[in-house]
Amino acid sequence: AQTVTQSQPEMSVQEAETVTLSCTYDTSENNYYLFWYKQPPSRQMILVIRQEAYKQQNATENRFSVNFQKAAKSFSLKISDSQLGDTAMYFCAFMNPYTGANSKLTFGKGITLSVRP
């Protein structure tokens, strides 16, 4: 079974600065997807960024980028130029859709990020 570990329960960052959220995972599979989801206080889960394991290039989405280290099973999220609206809970998640129709999203415990004005 896959596991996703987010060891930092909380982080705080000053507005406009850069912050990195850590995530490690454990799997014996070679092909899979990794995701970062954001859940603001309004509670809707929003996809921030996705990474396909067979791609060596790190995914980027505007101010959000990942550092994907497949051998180390590490998938960290970097938020540049932090904004107040980035305050939220962030979940790292793993999925292997290659297993078929019953693929499931496995979440880490999440990290609460606070952006200070």
Which residues would be at the binding site for other proteins (CB under 8 A)? Answer: 33, 35, 37, 42-47, 50, 52, 54, 89, 91, 95, 97-98, 100-105, 107-110, 112
Q: Could you tell me the smallest distance in angstroms from the CB atom of residue 12 to other proteins?
A: 16
Q: Could you tell me the smallest distance in angstroms from the CB atom of residue 19 to other proteins?
A: 19
Instruction: Tell me the torsion sign for CA atoms 19, 23, 29, 34.
Output: negative
Q: Could you tell me the smallest distance in angstroms from the CB atom of residue 16 to other proteins?
A: 27
Asked if residue 34 lies in contact with residue 92, where contact means CB atoms within 8 angstroms, the answer is: yes
Asked if residue 86 lies in contact with residue 18, where contact means CB atoms within 8 angstroms, the answer is: no
Contacts of 12 (CB under 8 A, 6+ apart): 113, 114, 115, 116
- By beta-carbon proximity to other proteins, the closer residue of 52 and 81 is 52
- By beta-carbon proximity to other proteins, the closer residue of 94 and 115 is 94
